[in-house]
Structure formats: structure tokens, C-alpha cells
Amino acid sequence: MVQTNYHPQSFAERLIYYSLLSTWVLWLIGGLYIAGPVIAWILAGNVAWRFYLAPGLPEHQKPKKAGWVLWTWVAGMALLLVTLWIGHSNFDLGMVATIKSSIGWAKGWALLAIFILAGAALDIRPAIIYRAICKLGAQTLILLPIFLIAPFAGLPETLYVSPLQIVGGPGPEYFATTLYTIEPGAGVPRWQFFAPWSPAAGMVAMVYVICAIEEKQLKWKLVGISAGLIVALLSQSRLALVALAVVWPMAFAISRVNKPAIWFAAAPVLLGASLFSVNIVQNVAEVQSEFESARADSSRVRAALGRIAVHRWQEEAPWFGHGVVERGPHLVEYMMIGSHHSWYGLLFVKGIIGLLALAIPMALSLFLLAQKACRYPEARVGLSLLLLLLLYSFGENLEILAYLYWPALILIGNGLRLRFPIIPESDKQSRPAT
């Protein structure tokens, strides 16, 4: 019996496919923050079981060879747990706080390694994720009028906070059913959809746009791209607009560096850029100034949080960090030190060792994906998504949103597969279930 490319065939594919299609239901009951880690650790168990059984499995059911770059993600995220323990010990934070922070690691940083490894080791076809995301986009377009009408119909911003908050999390916003927010100062509505805040919605929307671009059927492609772009625009995220203009085109150009046409096309562009370099630098400076002034208060707070995080990291805990986040002063509106920036957050909480634990696997993966992108479309997608995460690491804390953008991590892992050519979806026929 021939299976279609879009029919989930394995346990991992079914878990991923139906979880994505259940996103709005999970949001409605406040279960998204719980679902992400649960999916991750189920896949982790599946990977471990597969490796354990590998010697006795048929060839098509054995886990794929991951390669040493993928294991740097596992080592790096494990090192973050060790630095967390050392930081807690250095500042005598106690056993209870250490246990709570370790659980937080299992729901945050650990997800990066688990999903990337699962994407590489398990037989998960990217087409399944692309189609599920496009169908989720169709659901979003159907629900869109409710969100748009809500602020003008007098509906409350937040309908309720789910009782599932009892399981614990960073804050009530992760379990809230929020229709819209009002932008402070401007007084205009802003939407965050199923994300905890609007810029996070822009980030997830860009993940979905990159995936929808790869969908083969035009109908679903248009639906997925439209939904992603609308969510990104309504989130009013400045970083999403930058990502839209930079990430996919950059990955596409990198994947074509071995094509002579790219170099012939780039030559006049580079020549023109050199001739007008002074004007270009001035224009870039003006754009940056306008970017920051678009939300001057937000930019000021982010900059102050970064300065505080770096100063206290250098003076108090350079190697292993403070172990936990701390509330900032009135200057930064009492926001957590190290928030809004993955690298500042790592320095403050886990020190220079923690920063390197993320930087090294990310840099190695970017290099490998850039190499593979010239040959495999899946690697190009993985490169696009990793570039997106790199961009957002300067505006968000990656670990706290991993429960939302986890499909990107699976596709990054899929692109990092070693020694196994990835067959284009159009060439795939019936494949044994795994």
C-alpha cells in the first residue's frame, strides 16, 4: 500500500503532526507550555529506546547516524545544567531552589538538544511538519476575525489564566488565554496569538513562514505563508520584520555559493556597494536609529538590562554565573536581569562557561549547515531556521520559548544528519513505517 508524503507513518511523525494541529486547543486550555517539554521528553525516550534496540532492528528502523556536531548540542546543554548546579552552590541558594532550577532546565535548555537530536536520529520527514504548519495556518486564518474584533468589541484583553498554572512556570502569561494587548504609550492594540508576548509571536510566525515556503502544494503554501505574515505583522515585532528581509534570502544565497550565476550577479552589487559605501553606512545608521526609536522605552530598557547583566557578571560571577535570574531595579522597570537577550542571560545566570556551551554548538552547526545547504534543501531550511534563532537570541531568551518554536529545532537536526543523503520529497515512494 502506497502512503502519501503527507500521511504520518511513524510514532514520532504522528506525535509531531497532531501536536501541531492541536496548537489552538492547547492554547485554549493553557497547555502549550506543558505540551512542548512533554513532546520533547517523549521523543527523547523514543531516541534512547531506538539506540538501545538498534543492533536487533532492521536497517530501515535503526536510528540515523547523528554525527559529532549534533552531540555537541547534547554536551552543551548538559554543561548548562552543571553550571547551574555550580552557580547555586557558589551562592548557597539551597536544595529547593536547585531542584526548581533543574526542572526549569529540563523544560528549557534541554529542549534544544532533545529536539535537534530527535530530528537527526528519527525518521521524521520535513514534509509532515510543513503540511501540519500550513494546516495550523488555516486554523489561524479562521480564528483571525475574533482576534481583530476583540479590542473594538470591548472584550477583555485576557479571558482567563488556566488552572494548569499550578504545575509551575515562569509566569501566568504562559498559561493565559489572551486575545490582545494595548501598547503602552501608543494606546493601540497589539496581538500575541498563542505566544506569551507579541515579539514571541513574531518569532514563531517567521518559523512558520520559512516552513510554509517549502510546502509543495501551492494551496497550502499560500495559506501557510499568508497566516505567518499576518501574525508577524499584527505582532508588530520589529525583529520579525528584520528576519523577514534577511534570514531566508541569506540562507538561499549561501546555498547557491557554488553556482557561478550567483557570483556574476553579486559582482555588480558589490561594486555598487563599494562606490556608495559612505551613503550605505549613513542609511544603515538612520535605519538603526529609526528601529530603536520605534519603541524608545523598550530599547532603553533592553540596553540597560544588558549593561547591568554584563557588569554584575564581570564583577560577581564570571565563570559559572549567579545560578538564577534576579529582578532588576526601577531603572529597568523591575524586569529580570538578563531577560530579552539570550547571551546576556547566559552570562548573568551561567557565566562564560554557559555562554560557550551554547555558542560552540551553534557556530559548528551554522558552519556544517552552510556546507550542506549547497546540496540538500533540508539543510538550507535548517540553516534558515538556525539563522533565525541566532537573530532572535539578541532579542529573546531562546530557552524560555523553545516550547513554541520546537518544530524549527527538529528541522535543524534533520538538516544536520551526517552520511545519509536526504531524499527529496518528490522522489519518495512508499517507505516502511518506523
For residues 297 and 369, give the distance between their C-alpha atoms in angstroms, rounded to a whole number: 37
Q: What is the pLDDT of residues 40-75, one digit of tens each?
A: 999 999 998 888 777 766 666 667 777 788 999 999
Burial class from Cβ neighbours inside 10 Å (0-12, 13-18, 19+) for residue 419 reads exposed
Instruction: Report the pLDDT averaged over residues 395-422.
Output: 85
**Is the predicted pLDDT of residue 431 greater than 60, yes or no?**
no
pLDDT value for 324:
83
pLDDT value for 295:
56
Specify whether the CB–CB gap between 363 and 69 falls below 8 A. no
Residue 313's H or E segment, with its range, is helix 296-316
Could you tell me the pLDDT band of residue 178, with boundaries at 50, 70 and 90? very high
pLDDT value for 169:
77
Instruction: Report the pLDDT averaged over residues 205-232.
Output: 94
Global pTM? 0.87
pLDDT value for 280:
46
For residues 314 and 103, give the distance between their C-alpha atoms in angstroms, rounded to a whole number: 27
Percent of the chain at pLDDT exceeding 70: 81
Beta-bridge partner residues of 181: 190
In angstroms, the Cα distances linking 377 to 109, 211, 382 are 27, 12, 9
- In this predicted model, which residue has the larger pLDDT, 16 or 338? 16
What value does the CA radius of gyration of the chain take, rounded to a whole number of Å? 22
pLDDT value for 398:
92
Could you tell me the pLDDT band of residue 310, with boundaries at 50, 70 and 90? confident
Q: What contacts 24+ positions apart, CB below 8 Å, involve 36-39?
A: 36/107, 36/111, 36/402, 36/403, 36/404, 36/406, 37/106, 37/107, 37/111, 37/403, 39/15, 39/406
Q: How many CB atoms within 10 Å of residue 89?
A: 12
Could you tell me the pLDDT band of residue 329, with boundaries at 50, 70 and 90? confident
Percent of the chain at pLDDT exceeding 90: 51
**Is the predicted pLDDT of residue 277 greater than 70, yes or no?**
no
- In this predicted model, which residue has the larger pLDDT, 313 or 277? 313
pLDDT value for 322:
84
Instruction: Report the pLDDT averaged over residues 196-218.
Output: 93
In angstroms, the Cα distances linking 15 to 23, 109, 407 are 12, 21, 12
What are the domain boundaries of the chain? 11-271+291-427
* Phi-psi map region of 236: left, alpha, beta (phi>0 left; psi -120 to 50 alpha): left
Could you tell me the pLDDT band of residue 423, with boundaries at 50, 70 and 90? very low
Q: State the chain's mean pLDDT as an integer.
A: 83
424 DSSP assignment: P
**Is the predicted pLDDT of residue 84 greater than 80, yes or no?**
yes
For residues 363 and 360, give the distance between their C-alpha atoms in angstroms, rounded to a whole number: 5
User: Picking from 59-73, 153-167, 212-226, 241-255, which range would have the lowest pLDDT averaged per residue?
Assistant: 59-73
**Is the predicted pLDDT of residue 270 greater than 80, yes or no?**
no
For residues 3 and 425, give the distance between their C-alpha atoms in angstroms, rounded to a whole number: 12
